[in-house]
Amino acid sequence: MTIPSFVIGIAGGTGAGKTTVSRLITESVGESVTRIPLDNYYEDLSHLDFEERTEVNYDHPSAFEWELLREQLRLLTEGQSVEMPQYDFEEHNRKDERMTVEPTDVIILEGILSLYDEAVNEMMDLRLYVETDADVRILRRIDRDVVERGRNLEGVMDQYLSTVKPMHEQFIEPSKKHADLIIPEGANSVAVNLLEEKVRAEVTGDVARDWERETFDREVSDAVTLSESEP
Ligand SMILES: Nc1ncnc2c1ncn2[C@@H]1O[C@H](COP(=O)(O)OP(=O)(O)O)[C@@H](O)[C@H]1O
Ligand SMILES: Nc1ccn([C@@H]2O[C@H](COP(=O)(O)O)[C@@H](O)[C@H]2O)c(=O)n1
């Protein structure tokens, strides 16, 4: 494994296709890549009751526990495992259990505000912004939130107009300026294939470096053995 790891950030509006892109890369490259959903770092809201939690603005930067994210990313890039929180969208809260994440060659942080925090941005080697038209995103979101996140149409529409849209305009869209590359439409196959190649190169580059290091060690060891055997 390469230490430090290669860190990729994938930001973009809700429904843009961030999770789909990062899942495709993770599944195709395999266990050398770890996907870190930013959603897992929503603040623990156990001190609020369910009704109060439904009123929270989940698209404002203050909804996230940035300090924990910075710390866990730092540990992973230094080769240490972390206990990552898990998120429950139906409960609007963190789950009780955490998940052990081992350090890997490549780490992908994906979420609406992945390119928002300066310290997190500095830890990244490649910053991507997935750009998809707002009408497409809201249609995708309605479908997903009703099917997967236990919401109803009216709730999704209210939330979109009251917080999701204004926060997108105020914080998410402007974070695009930190991106190295912009990916249109989410899971577009040209972009995903190129990213897979880049990630594979990072992973196999590690193999090449290991091989070079082993060869170097063997040559040094042979040289030492030779010099020791000389009279
Ligand atoms: N390029 C695409 N074409 C069609 N549907 C897509 C595309 N990218 C993503 N989707 C779909 O849109 C929905 C939202 O995508 P997702 O990756 O969860 O977005 P995000 O993580 O940005 O909120 C999912 O149902 C996904 O299958
Ligand atoms: N309890 C919550 C927490 C977050 N959200 C919404 O999730 C969106 C971010 O996730 P994506 O997969 O869509 O990027 C964000 O826009 C929040 O509004 C929520 O609805 N409920």
Residue identifier of the C-alpha nearest atom 23 of ligand 1:
15
Residue identifier of the C-alpha nearest atom 1 of ligand 2:
92
Ligand nearest to the CA of 16: 1
Q: What is the mean pLDDT of residues 14-40?
A: 95
Output the pLDDT for position 220. 44
Atom of ligand 2 nearest to the CA of 19: 12
Q: Is the pLDDT of residue 52 over 70?
A: yes
Fold of 6-229: Rossmann fold (3.40.50)
Output the pLDDT for position 205. 76
Domain layout of the chain by residue ranges = 6-229
CA of 58 to the centre of ligand 2 (A): 6
Residue 179 marked as a ligand binder: no
Contacts of 73 by beta carbon, 8 Å cutoff, 6+ apart: 7, 36, 107, 109, 120, 123
Instruction: Pull the structure tokens for residue 200.
Output: 């594979």
Q: Is the pLDDT of residue 96 over 70?
A: yes
Q: Is the pLDDT of residue 191 over 60?
A: yes
Q: Is the pLDDT of residue 227 over 50?
A: no
pTM: 0.89
Q: Is the pLDDT of residue 15 over 70?
A: yes
Atom of ligand 1 nearest to the CA of 16: 22
Residue 17 marked as a ligand binder: yes
- Radius of gyration, CA atoms only, the chain: 21
Of the residues 19, 58, 163, which should be mutated to test ligand 2's pocket, given the most ligand atoms within 8 Å of the CB?
A: 58
Q: How many CB atoms lie within 10 A of CB 29?
A: 22
Average pLDDT of the residues of the chain: 90
Instruction: Pull the structure tokens for residue 12.
Output: 């973009």
